[in-house]
Amino acid sequence: MTTTSPESPIKLAVIPGDGIGPEVTDEALKVLDAVAPHAFAVTRYTLGAEHYLATGEVLPDSVLDEVRGQDAILLGAIGGKPNDPNIPPGLLERSLLLRLRFELDHHVNLRPSKLYPGVGSPLANPGEIDFVVVREGTEGPYTGNGGAIRVGTPHEMATEVSVNTAYGIERVVRDAFARAQKRRKKLTLVHKTNVLVHAGSMWWRIVNEVATEFPEVTVDYLHIDAATIFMTTDPGRFDVIVTDNLFGDIITDLAAAVTGGIGLAASGNLNPSRSTPSMFEPVHGSAPDIAGQQKADPTAAILSAAMLLDFFDMSEAAERIEKAVEADIAERDADRPRPTAAIGDAIAARV
Ligand SMILES: NC(=O)C1=CN([C@@H]2O[C@H](COP(=O)(O)OP(=O)(O)OC[C@H]3O[C@@H](n4cnc5c(N)ncnc54)[C@H](O)[C@@H]3O)[C@@H](O)[C@H]2O)C=CC1
Ligand SMILES: CC(C)CC(=O)C(=O)O
Ligand SMILES: [Mg+2]
């Protein structure tokens, strides 16, 4: 489906994907349409588990090329039912979701975490929580570098090699410092330098090198295991966290949990140079356990749409969404959950 508007609209590829992906994406589009009508020319792409099962296609090169020609991507979630015997493990995650991130050079995976007023946190004394995780998005153990030998024998061996390049680290570290400079001027590197010494030394060295260009930013370091402690005992200590692809994936689910749940956590897979379309998506996955039941919270997808607006310098519209979300959240009653579409309607009405 393509919707055009007379004033050079932003070309938006929408990939609803699997499970709750289409449900939450519909609500994000509803809110975008309310806050910025005619700002987007939407093209929907049917990709994901169902499409693979029906056609055997994951992400044809021709579709990738088309998507590359768009200005931005809004994605729901990718991933089929757990252990579906008809889908090879990781096929959709690797050959669709990660392929988009890698081919489109989404090296800054930006994941903000904020505890909105009135949101229940599982922490007894959460205090004020407002930090962003800058997760490296194109390297680490997610590159598919590895393999298995002697499969099925008692001597089977598997490796997943973490790829870390000075180029890849430096550009994401520089981005994180720039964000810290504009925020509360504190950057925390999260890694595991005590064990992953080769990659860890490079991350630590590059952080310290780039730090000389940002003398106002205080640098902190935490091992990933200790970072999970502080994220639950003292999350207010964080301003900007920079970390690798795997640690960033894990710690942002934890960050979502401490700030009221995965249904509120938004993200942007950014190529700050804008030479390719950046991709905005909730942190969560396809949630097969609640799919098709209108139980999903679309707030994460809606806030991801706000990040998209912000990326295109439509900050006033982005703020209107954030304010509408904040107001909606403040009135939520955990004992009376609303259907996905009703939450989208309420937020769209407020913007
Ligand atoms: N970016 C993406 O497309 C991602 C895809 N996945 C894929 O999604 C599938 C399911 O993965 P899981 O590990 O179960 O993670 P998940 O994030 O889909 O679900 C974890 C738990 O959170 C709940 N949940 C998630 N989103 C929610 C929402 N908006 N509202 C309310 N509850 C919500 C689910 O019901 C489930 O209990 C897998 O195939 C996985 O590979 C996982 C994470 C990210
Ligand atoms: C499914 C993975 C490839 C992605 C993921 O969990 C994430 O980006 O948070
Ligand atoms: Mg994840």
Average pLDDT by consecutive 10-residue portion of the chain (351 residues)? 57 98 98 97 97 97 98 97 93 97 98 94 92 98 96 98 98 98 98 98 98 98 98 97 98 97 97 98 97 98 98 98 97 94 98 97
Which of 249, 251, 252 to probe ligand 2 with, by most ligand atoms within 8 A of CB?
Answer: 249
Report pLDDT for 303: 98
CB atoms within 10 A of CB 349: 12
- Ligand with smallest separation from the Cα of 109: 2
CA of 210 to the centre of ligand 1 (A): 35
Q: DSSP code of 339?
A: P
Q: Which two tokens stand for residue 40?
A: 């987007």
Helix (H) or strand (E) holding 196: none
- Closest ligand 1 atom, residue 77 Cα: 3
CA of 25 to the centre of ligand 1 (A): 14
- 292 labeled part of a ligand binding site: yes
Report the C-alpha gap between 242 and 210 in whole angstroms.
13
CA distances from 303 to 37, 47, 280 (A): 17, 22, 9
Report pLDDT for 3: 37
Judge whether 333 counts as a catalytic residue. no
Report pLDDT for 7: 65
- 291 labeled part of a ligand binding site: yes
Judge whether 244 counts as a catalytic residue. no
- 348 labeled part of a ligand binding site: no
Instruction: Please tell me if the CB atom of residue 168 comes closer than 6 angstroms to any atom of ligand 1.
Output: no
* Catalytic residue (choose from 192, 239, 244, 310): 192
Report the C-alpha gap between 222 and 230 in whole angstroms.
9
Q: How would you classify residue 349: left for phi > 0, otherwise alpha for psi between -120 and 50, otherwise beta?
A: alpha
Report the C-alpha gap between 56 and 210 in whole angstroms.
46
CA of 126 to the centre of ligand 2 (A): 26
- Ligand with smallest separation from the Cα of 295: 1
Is residue 14 within 8 A of residue 44, CB to CB? The reply is: yes
Q: DSSP code of 104?
A: T
Judge whether 142 counts as a catalytic residue. yes
ipTM passes above 0.95:
yes
Helix (H) or strand (E) holding 75: strand 72-77
Q: Which two tokens stand for residue 137?
A: 């998005």
- Closest ligand 2 atom, residue 98 Cα: 3
CA distances from 350 to 85, 176, 327, 331, 341 (A): 44, 32, 8, 13, 14
Its pTM stands at 0.97
CA of 248 to the centre of ligand 3 (A): 8
Report the C-alpha gap between 103 and 231 in whole angstroms.
32
Judge whether 220 counts as a catalytic residue. no
Q: Is 167 helix (H, G, I), strand (E, B) or coil?
A: helix
Report the C-alpha gap between 11 and 215 in whole angstroms.
39
Judge whether 253 counts as a catalytic residue. yes
Please report the domains of the chain, with CATH numbers, ordered by start residue: 9-107+263-350 (3.40.718.10), 121-259 (3.40.718.10)
